[in-house]
Amino acid sequence: MDPKDKPAPTEDQIKAANEAEEAKWQDDFKDEDLAVPYKREDAKKPDEAEKKPEDPKEDVEAEPAEEETYTEPAPVVTVEDPGDYKPADYSFEVTLKDGKTVKVSTPDEAEKLADDPDNFETPKQLMDFINKQNKMNRNLERDYEKWESQKKTFTEQLETETQRRETIDSYIGEFQYLVDEGKIPEIAKEHIDANWFDPEIAKQPGVKEQIAILKHMEKENSLRAKANVKPLTSIVDAYNAWHTDDDTKAEDAKRKADEEATKAAGEARKAASSRIAGVSSSGQGTYVPKGIAVGNPNVLKRGAAQWDD
């Protein structure tokens, strides 16, 4: 039979043939080996797939917002007053040539013994004495240098603290003067020792003005230091400079406003003039009352009130 004349297979035959072919290799491969992951994450092991990536933000604890707190100024005097110098006891005993033991308490006593060579019988006795004498001198010199350094630091710090206290007292008096003169408001009693770093306290009457004056004084002195100019040391002077600065700013603002107003008025006049100049006067005839003949002398003698008759 010619293969061309062979009938085409039916759908059932094709299906049966495919199932038979599939059955031949079906058991050769495991289902998990044939599975193709859709994306890389699906190819991970089950325990890895369930593990969520750690969010770095979750591990960071929220830091509390920094609050500006008021702290008392650090004390100027940090060194204790050592008082008057009192040498420590570095006395020692030495055996002399005659066998007598002598206690040496001061460098002067040691010098007297060293000046008399008959006090020591052997070189060993002399060397022993010299070593003890040198040790006493070294200890006393070290102690004195330590005391001197501490005393100097204490004296300097005490002078600085005294000057600061005098400055504060002067500032307090000057601020009170400004209050008495009505230049700044008086501070309420509950706000005098309050925390001026607190924004609510800082804007209270009196507190606000004193802070402004002190800040202006600090700013002004910073500028003066750069220019090698003597700094402000008076609160009243600082107030006057602060007040003058505000007045100057107000005057500058007023002058600027006046200049802008003048400029605007000039622009307006200029615009109005350009509009008027745009209308030509050559097309306008001279008004002649009705019934008037130009050049008639009799008519020209008549009054203007009779022209409309």
Using DSSP's 3-state secondary structure scheme, residue 106 falls into: coil
User: Where on the phi/psi map is residue 77: left (φ > 0), alpha (ψ -120 to 50), or beta?
Assistant: beta
Distance CA 183, CA 258 (A): 29
pLDDT of residue 105: 93
The residue whose two tokens read 């008392």 is 72
pLDDT band at 30 (very low <50, low <70, confident <90, very high): low
Distance CA 144, CA 74 (A): 29
pLDDT band at 299 (very low <50, low <70, confident <90, very high): very low
pLDDT (tens digit per residue) in 262-292: 777 667 667 666 666 555 454 444 444 444 4
Which of the residue ranges 19-23, 136-140, 163-167, 237-241 has the most confident prediction, judged by mean pLDDT?
Answer: 136-140
The pTM for the full model equals 0.47
The residue whose two tokens read 């009693």 is 189
Q: Is the pLDDT of residue 159 over 70?
A: yes
pLDDT band at 172 (very low <50, low <70, confident <90, very high): very high
pLDDT of residue 98: 83
The residue whose two tokens read 């924004």 is 199
Distance CA 20, CA 24 (A): 7
Taking CA atoms, 189 is separated from 66, 186, 199, 206, 304, in Å, by 29, 9, 18, 11, 87
Longest dimension (CA), the chain: 167
pLDDT of residue 23: 66
- 8-state DSSP, 116: -
pLDDT of residue 115: 86
Q: Give the pLDDT mean for 41-61.
A: 50
Are 307 and 289 in contact by the 8 Å Cβ rule? The answer is yes
pLDDT (tens digit per residue) in 193-233: 888 889 999 999 999 999 999 999 999 999 999 999 999 88
pLDDT (tens digit per residue) in 69-108: 344 567 778 889 999 999 999 999 988 888 888 899 999 9
Are 241 and 220 in contact by the 8 Å Cβ rule? The answer is yes
Taking CA atoms, 208 is separated from 199, 203, 240, 268, in Å, by 10, 5, 16, 44
